Chain A
Amino acid sequence: MDVGTAAASASSHAAHAQPVPVELIELSRWFGPVAALDSFSLRIEPGELVALLGPSGCGKTTALRALGGLEQLDGGRVLLGVVDITDLPAHRRAMGMVFQAYSLFPNMTAAENVGFGLKMRKVAADQRRRRADTLLELVGLSTQADRYPHQLSGGQQQRVALARALAIQPPVLLLDEPLSALDARVRSQLRDEIRRIQLEVGTTTLFVTHDQDEALSIADRVGVMRAGKLEQCDTPSEIYARPTTAFVAEFVGSVNRLPGVIGADHSVDVVGCRLPLPGSGNGHVSGSRVDVLVRPETVKLRPDPDGRGRVTSRHFLGPVVRVAVALADGAEIVGTVLAAEGEALFPGTGVSVELASAPLFVVEAADPA
């Protein structure tokens, strides 16, 4: 199933004129009193793959469907390049869509499915078949061309769905959690292939997922959403290392929330360490109480019988060990250390706790209820 060489030859057929940018401007969509989209704005650069990430119900799927023309909008505009397509019905938008599951037409073979969009464009049958074969080769399913969907596995069905979406050479590719219904092994395999194909073909792509690993690993930029709004849209490393809101900091990866106090000179005192405030941590009054968000991998733990903390639990995860430590003042901190360093850290061991770098994020202390 090596699609590399096939992709090289097929991409010349699959590539289209010029990738276009997409602009979603202040989209609003209400379901009763609940806002699925609340003045949501996003720009996707030509050829870019943007992943929309967020908890269930945050509006990411609604945003994608709005772009595809499958959702009525209560406000906002959708631009494809410079063309305003807000009022254009779905069947005229020519966007390739891949759904979570069950989107292949059950009464058609894989090849007929792939050729369907071309049939709607009145392409001749032999040409359709040739293009379908090309695309099925691109996704590594040339031997399954005459199979029906129910004869294909979940992963194979999604590949056909991708081929079908690409067949019409769409300016934009929309992927709505395409891997969520597959099991783990198939998922990671297909994830990389989708990215590889997308890079070959060069289509502007919007990819919706609730899986962080998916989003961070394949996207050019990740847009984190919450309650219909875009919290932050940046490259994966920026999202991870320099979140601009507490929600993003806590949603992506894992994080410790520790009590701290703002000190002088743009610093914050937390678990006995004085750390510089992160770039986003300005505007805090010296002396005010704050919550400090710290990534577990930045917590340095060393066995120390006189140390401030005591190990309460330890989980061996292979390359790393996750250790939970209780501090004197009752706070708990979780650290992730390399396996070699964590060898001596067993429950009950005294440890010294040190925070090496600037914290991830600093936010006003949440008042104890």
Chain B
Amino acid sequence: MDALTLARPGRLPGRRRRVAALGVGPSFRVVVLVLTTFYFLVPLLASTIFSFQGVGGRPSLASYQAVFAEPLLWPTLTLSLEIALGTIVLTLLLILPTVVWVNLRLPHLRRLMETLSLLPLATPAVVLVLGIFAAFRGLPQFIIGTPVIVALEYVVLAMPYSYRVIDAGVQAIDVHTLVDASRSLGASWPQVLLRVLMPNLQGAILSASFLTLALCLGEYAVASLLTFNTFPVWLVQVGLNRAGEAVALSTFALVFTWGLLLVISFGTARRRRRPRVAAARGGQVKA
């Protein structure tokens, strides 16, 4: 079997991507997308409008002003961000070398690892908390009593997403050639990782970090049941009494996150194109 025909679809040499019809007409697209936009935009719009409502139904910034005046806003937000930072660092430290190693030395285990990475999905967050109570009660205070345990568990919760993103990124670059080339030029393993691989994995690292950040800022079950006052936990408490503020903050968080992700996505798309093109051309030359 010749390698070219078993290459991943879409890598045909010299093939320009043209107008693709793929069996659905423009009317299908329009209907589906209009309905989708409607369904997803309406509640968001409604909550945005709601958040700008003041007493007597007149537009006002009262909710937002109240939110930013809340004493617990910054402490809880900071706590969540600190946890997120810890989670991201731990995730990269753990997953990045593992993924590179698997792709490099254990390619036959790639499938298995992919499935393993999905394992955390099998233990819902609530069950995980149950397990933490059951098993880790005896751990020293500086682990179990502080947000450290939250970050440690968030790494596990984020793993299905972070592993897949990083794995996809590593598979997209020709990791064997890069490692062989840099090692033959005298680079040590840390240098290879830091100076050769990571720059080429910027997109994947950024995506994984961002997904982890989103998860940490939004994770509720573990944090609340372990009684840590993170941002989403506090948000729910606010919501119990001051719905308007909670809505304002939620809307703000959603819109802000989406905008940030869009910016990052547009930014990485431009950068990603270069290493990919080189890899594709390299693939052609080899074949």
Contact = CB atoms under 8 A, between A and B. Distances in A.
- Direct A–B touching, Cβ under 8 Å: yes
Interface of A: 56, 100-102, 153-155, 157, 180-183, 186
B47 to A, nearest CB: 41
A181 B4 contact: yes
A186 B12 contact: no
Contacts of B2: 153-155, 182-183, 186
27 contacts: A56-B14, A100-B12, A100-B15, A101-B5, A101-B12, A102-B9, A153-B1, A153-B2, A153-B5, A154-B1, A154-B2, A154-B4, A154-B5, A154-B6, A155-B2, A157-B5, A180-B13, A181-B4, A181-B5, A181-B12, A181-B13, A182-B2, A182-B4, A182-B5, A183-B2, A183-B4, A186-B2
Name A's interface SS. Answer: loop
A100 B14 CA distance: 11
A253 to B, nearest CB: 22
Interface of B: 1-2, 4-6, 9, 12-15
B198 to A, nearest CB: 34
Nearest to A158: B5
Given A181-B13, A182-B5, 20 more contacts: A56-B14, A100-B12, A100-B15, A101-B5, A101-B12, A102-B9, A153-B1, A153-B2, A154-B1, A154-B5, A154-B6, A180-B13, A181-B4, A181-B5, A181-B12, A182-B2, A182-B4, A183-B2, A183-B4, A186-B2
A56 B14 CA distance: 8
A226 to B, nearest CB: 17
A100 B10 CA distance: 12
A101 B1 CA distance: 14
Nearest to B21: A70
B5 to A, nearest CB: 3
A128 to B, nearest CB: 23
A219 B74 CA distance: 76
Contacts of A186: 2
Contacts of B9: 102
A135 to B, nearest CB: 21
Contacts of B13: 180-181
A69 B13 CA distance: 24
User: Most A CB atoms within 10 A — which of B2, B12, B13?
Assistant: B2
A194 to B, nearest CB: 17
Nearest to A57: B16
A211 B25 CA distance: 35
A62 to B, nearest CB: 9
Contacts of A154: 1-2, 4-6
Nearest to A99: B12
Contacts of A182: 2, 4-5
A155 B4 CA distance: 11
A100 B5 CA distance: 10
Contacts of A100: 12, 15
A157 B1 CA distance: 11
A157 B4 CA distance: 13
A180 B6 CA distance: 14
Contacts of B1: 153-154
A268 B6 CA distance: 54
Task: Among A102, A181, A183, find the residue whose CB has the most chain B CB atoms closer than 10 A.
Answer: A181
Pick the 8 closest A-B CB pairs, nearest first.
Answer: A154-B5, A183-B2, A153-B1, A154-B2, A181-B4, A102-B9, A56-B14, A181-B5
B54 to A, nearest CB: 51
Nearest to A153: B1
A237 B143 CA distance: 84
Nearest to B287: A183
A153 B2 CA distance: 7
A157 B5 CA distance: 9
A260 B14 CA distance: 38
Contacts of A153: 1-2, 5
Contacts of B14: 56
A183 B7 CA distance: 13
A251 B14 CA distance: 19
B214 to A, nearest CB: 35
Nearest to A56: B14
A327 to B, nearest CB: 35
A183 B4 CA distance: 8
Contacts of A102: 9
Contacts of B6: 154
B2, B5, B14 pick with most chain A CB within 10 angstroms: B5
